Amino acid sequence: MIIWPALLVVCLDQATKIAVLKGLRVYESVPLIGGFFNLVHVRNRGMAFGFMNRPNMDLGFWILVFATIIAIFLLLFWFHRMKGESNWTTLGLSLILGGALGNLIDRVRLHEVIDFLDFHVGAWHWPAFNVADAAITVGAFMVGLSLFLAAPEKKTA
């Protein structure tokens, strides 16, 4: 079960980014829902939501690549250790894995990540993001919620 959601996220993420590359120029914006949602084409050399997004951050680039690779191995290790655990946890971890792989593909291929979903209210904009970022966020929420709601183990005397 762990591989299919991750593969779906990677495929959807890369397909939408290819569509953005072909359909929009960098920094172009297309309003879809006036005053609320645009498709944009921005590049992010940093982390989620533009954190560490600075030009000439070669060290930051390598730190992010290696941190992502380590996170992927930790996720795979966690999967290996889970036997018969919550399907919500497994699905959440798979979404995180797919999102990490989707953004890693961009980072290695382009040295930056393509973001294109721009939600806003008036002049206030949420930082642009992509399918991989959304999968990581939803997956983290699912894992956190499943861990929070898990019944505590009974201690034996």
Measured torsion, CA atoms of residues 50, 52, 53, 57, in degrees rounded to the nearest 10: -160
Of the candidates 101, 96, 102, the residue with the CA atom closest to the CA atom of residue 116: 102
Region of residue 146 (left: phi > 0; alpha: psi -120 to 50; beta: else): alpha
Coil, helix or strand at residue 134 = helix
**CA gap 42, 45 in Å, rounded:** 10
Asked if 106 is an active-site residue, the reply is no
Asked if 118 is an active-site residue, the reply is no
**CA gap 90, 9 in Å, rounded:** 14
Start-to-end Cα distance in the chain: 36
Enzyme catalytic residues: 115, 133
